[in-house]
Amino acid sequence: MISFAGSYWTDVDDPWIGGKDDNGNDHFSWIGSGEPLLGPEVSSYWSSGEPDHEDWDGRDKDCVYLFHFNEKLRTSKCSNSRPFICEKY
């Protein structure tokens, strides 16, 4: 699914995909199912150095988007405006 979505969105801004750290405890999961986005079974989905929980300004990066360059997951502040390919949170 991630590969398909990444190739589909290469010509637009990198989209939100429905992953979030809901309670600020650095445990990312899918919004709908609650299944984890951390751990050995999903570590290959993340870009190198991700998930990175804090931005350069010290603010939490609690939402997950798909980075079209390498079709991997990255984190960003939820207040950033992006297209989405999931149910809007």
Per-position DSSP letters for 18-87, written without gaps between them = EEE-TTSSS--EETTT--BS-STTTGGGBPTT-S--B-TTS-B--EEEEETTTTEEEEE-TTS---BSS-
* pLDDT tens per residue across span 8-60: 554 468 888 889 998 777 788 988 888 888 777 788 889 998 888 777 787 88
The whole-model pTM stands at: 0.77
Q: Please give the domain boundaries of the chain with CATH numbers for all domains.
A: 2-76 (3.10.100.10)
pLDDT digits (tens, 9 = 90+) for 54-77: 777 878 889 999 888 888 999 999
Cβ atoms within 10 Å, residue 62: 21
